[in-house]
Amino acid sequence: MPRDTFNRASIRDSSSSPTIDPAPRRPLTFGSLLTVLPFLCLTAFFLCGFGPPTIVDRDVAPRQRFTVGQLGQIQQAHVAPPGISAVSVLVYDLETGSVLMNKAEQLPVSPASLAKLMTALLILEQDRLSDLVTIHGADLVGEAAMGLRAGEELFVEELLWGMLIPSGNDAAMALARHHSGLVESFVASMNLRAGDLGMYNTLFHNPHGFDADGQVSSAEDLLILVKLLWEYPLFREIVGTAATTVAGHELQTTNRLLGSYPGINGVKTGTTWQSGQSLIAGLEEGGHQLFALVLGSVDRYHDMRLVLQAVQGNYGWVPLQLPERPTALDRLFDTAGNRWFLRADGISIDPAALEAGPFFEALLSGWERQELQVFRRLHPPPSGVWITGMPAGVLEWRLGDTLIATQRLFVE
């Protein structure tokens, strides 16, 4: 009988008994489904294996693979921690140019006294710090103040200290007037400079940050200002000072994290009824500088601590450094039977430009550290015989599929 016609209904016994009809099919009930479901799940478990599930990009193989745990770490690394009230958050590493955490960083909000950062930039760029300024009564606008008096004379640099440490509105007004003649002209210069810098979510109406209809900025735009200002040693000195006396005025910083949170070295606070509490904090750790911004907060110091702790918990600097003593992998034998050892030169983030230094540090999150690998690519000489000091190839430090640093190899 052909195989495709075989079925149990055609089986007969030796006594030519009638055909055995199949038993009637029972409908599949919910109870019977529950009975077989555990066995189906168990079978699927063994078929799929015991390893952690992974997501694989198969457009071009091989590609980086992430476990479910790593994907969770990737997501958490950039997300602002729960329990913060700030409407906008941004954390930026200055050395690598990496955004480590972000939340609504382009959202326009009232900048409050963070507007004084643009005032400071224009004053520093004008570079007339030794000019003498006479204080006018119109400069004394109230609220946070350096404590100036009409008729008093101070140098531009002294007014910078009074504007940035206690967030003096009086000092900001005096600086604006001295810079441009009229405060209105200075505000126009503030907005012109903001446009030049690509601060497209920013508009200023005064030099000190009092709430005004339409006066806005964003964490992303304010970061542009901080990065430029950080290039001025005087600015770094001022915002890193907790208390001092300038021209007879005792100045106390408004940044309460300065001196109370390890590594904080600036930068500026901002507070109004409309904007809430804002804070830009600079943090130096292990010679590396980052900036954290929280805007529109109910409690900026609580929020900033949570943000910094989350970033410090998720990221760390990892040295790319080979063992000092040669290993078996560092030995080479040429065609003449001579034994050689490999040594590495300085390391470079850019394969085309070698930097001096015995090692380089990479800023990596927890999941990225598991993906860091080093590959050795040797270039034997055509003769097969090595000579002391001869280039032997390169070491490639890779993070998944991304080349992040190289080291030249030599024989000795």
Binding positions for substrate: 268
Per the structure block, which two tokens stand in for 150? 């009409």
Based on the residue annotation, tell me whether 227 is a catalytic residue of this protein: no
Binding-site residue numbers are 268
217, 183, 241, 237: which is closest to 114 by C-alpha?
A: 217
Distance CA 300, CA 62 (A): 45
Distance CA 170, CA 209 (A): 12
Distance CA 345, CA 390 (A): 12
- Class of residue 388 by CB neighbours under 10 A (exposed 0-12, middle 13-18, buried 19+): exposed
Q: Which residues of 35-61 are buried (b: 16+ CB within 10 A; e: fewer)?
A: eeeeeeeeeeeeeeeeeeeeeeeeeee
Quote the longest CA-to-CA distance of the chain: 130
Distance CA 175, CA 186 (A): 9
Based on the residue annotation, tell me whether 275 is a catalytic residue of this protein: no
Query: What SS3 state is found at 130?
Result: coil
Annotated catalytic residue within 167, 180, 278, 348: 167
Annotated catalytic residue within 103, 110, 116, 275: 116
Instruction: Decide if 290 contacts 281 (C-beta within 8 A).
Output: no
Distance CA 406, CA 397 (A): 6
Give the number of C-alpha atoms closer than 13 A to the C-alpha of residue 49, restricted to the C-beta side. 4
Annotated catalytic residue within 113, 189, 275, 297: 113
Distance CA 374, CA 28 (A): 57
Q: Residue 339: what are its φ and ψ, rounded to 5°?
A: -100, 135
**Residues tagged active-site:** 113, 116, 167
